Structure 1
Amino acid sequence: MTNRLRVLISADLEGISGVVHPTETNPGSYDYERGRALMTAEVNAAVAGVLDAEPDAEISVADSHGPFRNLLPEELDRRVRLIRGKPRPLGMVAGLEAGVDALLFVGYHARSGAGPAVLAHTISDAVLDVRLDGRSVGEIGLNAAVAGHYGVPVLLLSGDDAACAELRELVPAAVTVEVKQALGQAAARTLHPQEARDRIRQGAAEAIRTRRQVSPLPTPTPVRVELDLYGPYSVDLATLVPGVTRAAGARTLVFTGEDMAEAYRVVQLLVQLAQIKPG
């Protein structure tokens, strides 16, 4: 039995400094390789900050953007374990189920409908909104809620000003590192990448040192989930899943999860079904 602090870093790409456009986040686009290199560097900065504060910490990094295969393994700090590839039961926060003490979000973005916010969305462009017991949440809220189910506090988020505000609304004691100010969906006033990395390193160290001031996000059991999808065909398909029903109107799905971990898995499934086009 180890007494070492166990830390999970969940890394996304839209909230990385300098990144403002889908060509920097989508594999195969001309600027994607640059975007993933910037992402890897900011994750390394967070790792360094954790180890500044807790040199013996065990750190896992969950690659949590798009295909979950963005971080450059050969460029990642060799002291971490990398979680990559999909599908996986806990998606962006895979590793929580193995037991961790703290969760950090690097490169995160605001939820669908937020604005101004850089590349704001919730999981997929097919999703208009997700509500947990009536409260609208994006990836930040969903992942923080799953962490709460496992008793794990979210200590830090780096991203644009909108993403930082979104986490502070849920977890006021968390450390946030603003690496850019959103001017719109594809525009921002951004820090130099090295300056952003320095601030992330400092923020991660502060978050670890002050971790006892942060509590896990409370999560309801059971949890009622409403999911608004863009396409009515996707709603038709999703209602084939047992327990998922259509609410009044063409685009809203409703189901109840036994707990947040179950609800999260169902949300992931419904979002994947929403990628299927009519035959």
Structure 2
Amino acid sequence: MRAFISIDLEGMPFIVSREHLFVKGALYSEARKIATEITLTVAEALHEKGFDEVIVADSHGPMVNLLIDELPEYVEIVRGFPRPLSMVAFAKGSDIGMFLGYHAKAGTGYATFDHTYSGASVDYLEINGVRVSEFLLNSYVLGHYGIPVVLVGGDAKLIEEDVRRFTPWAVEIPFKNAISRYAAKSPSMKKLKKELKIAVAEAIRRYEKGMTEPLKVKEPVTVRLRLLRSDMADAAELLPQINRIDGKTVKFKAGNIGDAYRIFELLVLAAAGVRSIARGDTVRIS
């Protein structure tokens, strides 16, 4: 059997400073160790329960965060950015999905590092009129492939507002309770590791009993994306299928959620290019 795990950093326990999140950050090495220890705990629990393949998608920032020397032989790791389907690349063919270190969507109060995919570009993202978090967007993609999300570990606000609403069958593990964007309380790592092992066993039990299901979104999908600046929408509008709604908001349709995800990724990359131009960086096109 094959399990798929998508790993983010902002929803990991103990991670509260921007210095945790960037390759050159003073606390980045600590964040890498935390994320790797959490990932290993879950992978080992899955393997003990009969999963001979565990696909781990390293999915924060440049997507090269986990300490690969720590990973056992039954784990395959997806690294690097950009890549098609980003945080859920190579999920297809898995039996179950799990999300670890996930955070709340942009605009959520009392949640650490609330944002949606790119805090530097995206104000909000809507799929079929529903404002989505990364958790919900990625759950839809897994659902498209028939994969149920069976366990989510991350920010308590994400669990309260999205996980319980959209995937009530998923086992919940709050890694942190935030009192501001940059402050939160987390249980000890020892306690979390014990809880994670119990949670994995319960998630597998629910899956085997038929208590879980893939989260489906009605297709074709309508996507509404509000960017942070008008020049980003200028760039997005260069694609013929993009409709400009107002100065910062664009809208498009896609045949399925996978195609919608790819177009969204491209728009975020275009927005990053626009930021570089605005900073006066040299942009070479030949």
TM superposition score normalised by structure 1: 0.94
Q: CA–CA distance in 2 between the matches of 1:271 and 1:141?
A: 18
For 2:265, the aligned partner's letter is Q
Structure 1: gaps spanning 5 or more residues: none
**1:175-206 deviation per Cα after TM superposition (whole angstroms, max 9, x unaligned):** 01012111111110111122222212221221
1:50: which partner in 2?
46
Q: Hey, which bits of structure 1, 4+ residues long, moved more than 6 A? A: none
Specify the alignment match of 1:33 in structure 2: 29
Match of 1:162 in 2: 157
User: Does residue 103 in structure 1 map to residue 81 in structure 2?
Assistant: no
The alpha-carbon deviation at position 56 of structure 1 amounts to 4.0
- 1:142 Cα deviation after fit: 0.4
What residue is the counterpart of 2:19 in the other structure?
A: 23
Name the aligned partner's letter for residue 270 of structure 2.
L
AA at the equivalent of 1:213 = M
Q: CA deviation at 1:76?
A: 2.0
Supply the distance in 1 between the matched residues of 2:147 and 2:106 (Cα, whole angstroms). 25
The letter of the residue matching 2:263 is V
Residue aligned with 2:47, SS: helix
Q: Does 126-135 or 209-218 show the bigger shift? A: 209-218
- Cα shift at 1:242: 2.5
2:255 corresponds to which residue? 258
Q: Is contact 1:182–1:188 with CA below 8 Å preserved after alignment?
A: yes
What CA distance in whole angstroms lies between the structure 2 residues aligned with 1:56 and 1:140? 23
CA distance in 2, matches of 1:164, 1:49: 22
Among all aligned residue pairs of Structure 1 and Structure 2, give the percentage whose two residues are the same amino acid.
Answer: 36
Aligned partner of 1:86 in structure 2 is 81
Counterpart of 1:193 (choices 185, 189, 192) is 189
Tell me what 1:225 maps to: 223
Q: How many correspondences in the alignment?
A: 272
Q: Aligned to 1:213, what secondary structure does the other structure show?
A: coil
Q: Which moved more, 1:164-173 or 1:62-71?
A: 164-173
The one-letter amino acid paired with 1:189 is: K
Runs of 5+ in structure 2 lacking a partner? 281-286
Q: C-alpha separation between the residues in 2 aligned to 1:216 and 1:256?
A: 22
Which amino acid in structure 2 is aligned with residue 61 of structure 1?
A: V
Provide, for residues 129-172 of structure 1, a one-character-per-residue CA deviation record: whole Å limited to 9, x for no partner. 00011100010110001111111110011012112222121101
Counterpart among 224, 242, 245 of residue 243 in structure 2: 245
Residues in 2 aligned to 1:151 and 1:60: alpha-carbon distance in whole angstroms = 16
For residues 202 and 11 of structure 1, the distance between their equivalents in structure 2, rounded to whole angstroms, comes to 19
Task: With the length of structure 2 as denominator, give the TM-score of the two structures.
Answer: 0.92
- CA–CA separation in structure 1 for the residues paired with 2:255 and 2:130: 18
Could you report, residue by residue, the CA deviation over 1:211-249 in whole angstroms, capped at 9, with x for unpaired residues? 1211111211100000010011000001111201111x2
C-alpha distance in structure 1 between counterparts of 2:192 and 2:122, whole Å: 30
Deviation readout 1:17-67 (Å, 9 max, x if unpaired): 111121111110100011011000000111122123x22431110001110
Question: What's the counterpart of residue 235 of structure 1?
Answer: 233
Aligned to 1:215: 213
